[in-house]
Chain A
Amino acid sequence: GESVGLHLPTLSVQEGDNSIINCAYSNSASDYFIWYKQESGKGPQFIIDIRSNMDKRQGQRVTVLLNKTVKHLSLQIAATQPGDSAVYFCAENFGQNFVFGPGTRLSVLP
């Protein structure tokens, strides 16, 4: 259902390390999934997407993995950089609806 009012979990990683951000989605009928990055004071920005007929998709430094069996989505960021510090949201789409996860705050340590 709707994104719930949970405080954001935080992931801290060392600069240069890989980051993995996880998300559980709610609707087994969802057929399209998106990862967004939101920097402070700005709207979310599209990073990468994946359809339900795929289980992996790669972009530049980012990879999304989809496990439909357990309704789990992950975002992997390779060689994390300071500019990757932000809040990351997953979203599932079915019909007209986009339902967002609560978000994860990624902090990149120097």
Chain B
Amino acid sequence: SQTIHQWPATLVQPVGSPLSLECTVEGTSNPNLYWYRQAAGRGLQLLFYSVGIGQISSEVPQNLSASRPQDRQFILSSKKLLLSDSGFYLCAWSVGDEQFFGPGTRLTVL
């Protein structure tokens, strides 16, 4: 069966610090991978998606970036965090139509 992992589960970072969130998928090959952000009490905002290694599409211009160094690994990064980067970050994968989500990382930028 397929499993998706995200870490860390929670993170508190100062403004201006770097960020690296990691997502890995098990039990599937060549999935589409996605990063979403969810502000408190709000809907899901697509940040990046990837259809293959090294292929990243950005949906929203911002100070975040994504990379896919391996087929089942998706990384979300920032060189300098902003207060507005606080939120719940969700990684998701899809093969075909269905999309499944990881447990999320709650990021608080102070």
Knowing that A8-B42, A43-B90 are A-B contacts, what are 12 other residue pairs whose CB atoms are under 8 Å apart, sorted by A's residue number? A2-B46, A3-B42, A5-B43, A7-B41, A7-B42, A43-B103, A44-B101, A93-B99, A96-B57, A98-B34, A100-B46, A102-B43
Given contacts A96-B32, A98-B94, contact A89 B102 (CB under 8 A): no
Given contacts A2-B59, A97-B49, contact A43 B39 (CB under 8 A): no
B33 → A minimal CB distance (Å): 10
Please classify the interface of chain B as helix (H, G, I), strand (E, B), loop, or mixed, using the class held by over half of its residues: strand
In the bound complex, do residue B44 and residue A44 qualify as a contact, i.e. CB atoms below 8 Å apart?
yes
Residue pairs across A and B with CB atoms within 8 Å: the count is 71
Selected contact of A42 from candidates B39, B45, B103, CB within 8 Å: B103
For A33, give the chain B residue with the smallest CB separation: B97
Given contacts A42-B103, A46-B100, A49-B98, contact A96 B43 (CB under 8 A): no
Alpha-carbon gap, A100 to B100, bound state (A): 13
Interface size class of B (residues with CB under 8 A): 20 to 34
For B9, give the chain A residue with the smallest CB separation: A41
By a CB distance below 8 angstroms, the chain B residues around A32 are 97
Alpha-carbon gap, A4 to B38, bound state (A): 11
Does residue B60 face the partner (Cβ distance < 8 Å to A)? yes
Interface size class of A (residues with CB under 8 A): 20 to 34
In the bound complex, do residue B44 and residue A3 qualify as a contact, i.e. CB atoms below 8 Å apart?
yes
Alpha-carbon gap, A93 to B104, bound state (A): 21
In the bound complex, do residue B46 and residue A97 qualify as a contact, i.e. CB atoms below 8 Å apart?
yes
What are 6 A-B contacts with C-beta separation under 8 Å? Answer: A3-B46, A4-B43, A5-B45, A36-B101, A49-B98, A101-B43
By a CB distance below 8 angstroms, the chain A residues around B60 are 2
For A51, give the chain B residue with the smallest CB separation: B97
